[in-house]
Amino acid sequence: MLINEDLKEVGYISKAHGIIGELKVQFHFASSLINFNKFNSIYIGIANEPVPYLLQSINLLQQNQAIIKLEDINDRSSAELLVKKSIYIYKEFIDDDLSKEDLSKLIGYTIVDKNVGTVGVITDILEAPMQILAEVMCENEAKLLPLNEATIVEIKHNSKKINTILPDNILNI
């Protein structure tokens, strides 16, 4: 795709929502990393080109999902034409501390959970369809732990530690 180097893929349209042309968006990382109040348009990859669309509204759902309404997309059939298309925004509107491309920098960091204490060291970062997972060595066994706005409390780059609040019993899976 001929994407301007100033644009970055931030997610994709997962499905049409409702009957007035709204779209459900799945972001590649926590939506809190995107400064939505600083821009009013997005780009959608159509026929190998980024096509601009004005945002009428955005309703954030979970940490990596939203419902958006675009200008000139006013019915479900128009919205369905955009399903599975990639979404791009200008890089300047993204907080790069924990974006998709930078997650590999967390390999080697130690996960410290509020309730469990030290869990282990991140050995790999995996991108699942709905979330980012950290592969962590825990008692000589690899565990997959979600990395998102709900689990990460703080990232301490100087000490290479990530303070988390993990879901109950996730280490027993």
Per-residue pLDDT of the chain (173 residues; tens, 9 = 90+): 455 778 888 889 999 999 999 999 988 766 666 777 778 899 999 988 899 999 999 988 866 788 999 999 999 999 999 999 999 998 888 765 555 446 777 889 999 999 889 999 999 988 776 678 889 988 888 999 988 777 887 788 788 898 888 888 888 87
Same-domain status, 34 and 78: yes
pLDDT for res 100: 47
What is the DSSP track for the chain? ----TTEEEEEEEEEEETTTTEEEEEESS-GGGB-GGG-SEEEEEETTEEEEEEEEEEEE-STTEEEEEETT--SHHHHHTTTT-EEEEEGGGB-GGG-GGGGGGGTTPEEEETTTEEEEEEEEEEE-SS-EEEEEEETTEEEEEEESTTTEEEEETTTTEEEE-PPTTGGG-
Q: Is residue 1 domain-resident?
A: no
Please compute, for residue 4, the number of CA atoms within 13 A of its CA located in the half-sphere on the CB side: 13
Those residues with Cβ within 8 angstroms of residue 164's Cβ, 6 or more apart along the chain or in another chain: 111, 112, 113, 114, 119, 145, 151, 152, 153
Contact predicate 68/34, CB 8 Å: no
Q: Is residue 161 domain-resident?
A: yes
Same-domain status, 50 and 110: no
Same-domain status, 105 and 154: yes
Domain boundary among 94, 116, 150: 94
Same-domain status, 26 and 51: yes
pLDDT for res 33: 65
Same-domain status, 63 and 115: no
Same-domain status, 14 and 77: yes
Question: How far, in Å, CA of 143 to CA of 94, rounded?
Answer: 29
pLDDT for res 54: 95
Same-domain status, 72 and 51: yes
Same-domain status, 81 and 152: no
CATH number where 50 lies: 2.40.30.60
Q: How many of the other CB atoms lie within 10 Å of CB of 68?
A: 23
Domain boundary among 79, 94, 109: 94
* φ, ψ for residue 104, nearest 5 deg: -60, -20
CATH number where 161 lies: 2.30.30.240
Q: Give how far the C-alpha of residue 81 lies from the chain's centroid of Cα atoms, to the nearest Å.
A: 23
Same-domain status, 88 and 15: yes
Decide: pTM greater than 0.85: no
Same-domain status, 33 and 89: yes
pLDDT for res 117: 92
Same-domain status, 56 and 78: yes
Domain boundary among 94, 114, 140: 94
- Number of domains making up the chain: 2
Task: Residue 135: give the domain boundaries.
Answer: 101-168
